[in-house]
Amino acid sequence: MTTYTAPVEDMMFLYEKLRNNKSYNELEKYKDVTPDLVKNILEEAAKINQNIILPLAKVGDEQPATLENGVVRTPPGYKEAYKKYIEDGWTSLSCDPKYGGQGMPKTVSAFFDEMLSSASLSFKLYSELSIGAYNCINHHATNEVKDKYLPKMVEGKWSGTMCLTEPICGTDLGLLKTKAVEQSDGTYKLSGQKIFITSGDHDLTENIIHLVIARSTDSPSGTRGISLFLVPKYIVNDDGSLGPRNGISTGSIESKMGIKGSATCVLNFDDAVGYMIGPKNKGLNSMFTMMNLERIVVGIQGLGISEIAYQNSLMYSKERKQGKSNNNKTSNGSADFIIEHADIRRSLLNMKSIIEGERALCFWLSQQTEVSLNHENKKIKQEAADFVSLMTPVVKALFTDMGSEITSEAMQIFGGYGYTKDQGIEQLYRDNRITPIYEGTNSVQAIDLVFRKLVNKNGDIIDRYINMVKKEMEINNNEKIAPFIAILDTYLEKLSSFTSWVKDKIQNSKDDANAASNDYLKVLGLVAVGYSWLKVLQVSFEDYDNNKIFYEDKIQTANFFFQRVLPRIDAHCSSAMSGSRYIMDFKFN
């Protein structure tokens, strides 16, 4: 079984030292969120994740959610843990106090998301989609609907889902078949089938609030005719009490490679009563409020699983003896701990440098998200929103791809033991493997980035981002950081050249741009992580004497990232800019 210690010290370092975003610090609503308060929250979060939720990971894998006589039952221990989870208020952490929430910023809730992903992704998924549904309802529903549904969802007694995928369509939602028939009282009756619905049914909450996309019978075909509906498992009476069961049934639970404790359901809607959320035929716009935030959270899942994989790999490498390292000059044939071997150290530093850089990038993105939602200045708000839009597919895809790489390396460090179930490492690999797939596959993220996010109606977003990074590098005059700036500047120029090439290909050879999109996302992502490391290094050099051990660790970890990880950019650029000719001209037999 894996062990886990929440990285509270590193999280607090980011919150205390990298919360230097001027626009973020202008947000009045978070003036009372002090470092002491955040530290108390994170320490309590660490306790529940380490002591109560972590043991559920193995239980859920060995005794998955089941469907019995139409009732979905969660794994042993989930009910008790979930009761404690909502009693302690974790579902309400980032929600509006108007509906019973604690009103914490994303800069805090993102840390909790990471911890929960490390402890048990399966358990996390029962509340994660609820927060997404909460955000969607809060942004697009009427005040009457908000007042009726949100307090119970914030409390955690009701949960939520997102119902998009159907047997006939995944990414191409214009093909969906679920129909909605308007009734005389203004409600709709929905009929159709949705698949791959995370936490689609379970026994943890009194009610489940499904957000369902469907086509009204008088709407046009394609994505232009999609509307969003709120469809509760149990009808909610006017006084807030629960009425009869709605026309929703669970057809089956998917038998999956990983996250087995999470019930991934086939849901059948048979004249289920639904309520339209947002404007008619604009359902995708409303749903993307939920999906875009969820994509960032999925990236954090990859980060959280990477962290626990690294922790266990490091611990094992200090306990396992195997072979003699090059520094072992003894003649008695005694073996060394494997952490003494150069290649094991390379693997560990690869994990560590990527994880800590990703966490810093995520913290920067959390600040941008809050500015995009809450700043009073429309120009500042829009610029932050554009940067969030640019980085959303990057964080989702890069963090989850790196999660696959890191969990695979962890298994390699454990050797044969890593391949067995006893250690829990192979489960981390299996649990993470869904993260590059759901909420839009990583190839979809890359295509979305290249064709929709680099330049949009608000202008050339990628050029603004590159110029922002350049400007910050130019004003940083600390001579100790100069070698790092020089390296990043080299790769920033390569990103700039790659960007120009991509923009040209979008106009003149879309196959070239399409074939290069995955490489482009990784190049932008690695530069963004490098930029985040510069922010960490700036503090580390300036504050070095106050915490030498901590900051020396940061500096040496950054050294590895700049010397051994950033150079991956060379291969991505060279491969991508070879074009698509040898891809599209190939004749498959």
Residues with a known catalytic role: 439
Q: What is the dihedral of CA 42, 47, 52, 58, to 10 degrees?
A: 80
Torsion sign (Cα): 470, 474, 478, 483: positive
Under 8 Å between Cβ of 159 and 208? yes
> Which stretches within 105-159 are classed as H helix?
106-119, 121-140, 143-155
What is the three-class DSSP state of 297? Answer: helix
Kindly give, in sequence order, each residue whose CB lies less than 8 Å from that of residue 30, ignoring residues fewer than 6 positions away: 24, 105, 370
What is the three-class DSSP state of 166? Answer: strand
Under 8 Å between Cβ of 187 and 235? no
H or E element that contains 47: helix 35-48
H or E element that contains 92: none
- Please give the structure tokens belonging to residue 251: 């057809």
Strands 455-456 and 459-460: antiparallel
The Cα 86–Cα 71 span in angstroms is: 22
- Please give the structure tokens belonging to residue 468: 């922002």
The Cα 98–Cα 93 span in angstroms is: 13
- Please give the structure tokens belonging to residue 77: 């221990």
Task: Work out the number of other CB atoms within 10 angstroms of the CB of residue 70.
Answer: 9
> Which stretches within 375-481 are classed as H helix?
378-414, 416-419, 425-432, 442-448, 461-475
Under 8 Å between Cβ of 245 and 208? no
Which candidate, 298, 304, 232, places its Cα nearest to that of 267? 232
Strands 242-245 and 248-253: unpaired
Which candidate, 375, 174, 388, places its Cα nearest to that of 281? 174
Q: What single DSSP character describes residue 74?
A: P
Residue in the structure block whose two tokens are 């379970």:
202
- Please give the structure tokens belonging to residue 350: 């690869």
The Cα 445–Cα 466 span in angstroms is: 20
- Helix, strand, coil in percent for the chain, rounding step 5: 60, 15, 25
Angle subtended at Cα 273 by Cα 157 and Cα 68, rounded to the nearest 5 degrees: 60
Under 8 Å between Cβ of 229 and 180? yes
β-sheet bridge partners, residue 210: 161, 231
Which candidate, 77, 85, 86, 87, places its Cα nearest to that of 57? 77
The Cα 54–Cα 45 span in angstroms is: 12
333: alpha, beta or left? (left if phi > 0; alpha if psi -120 to 50): left
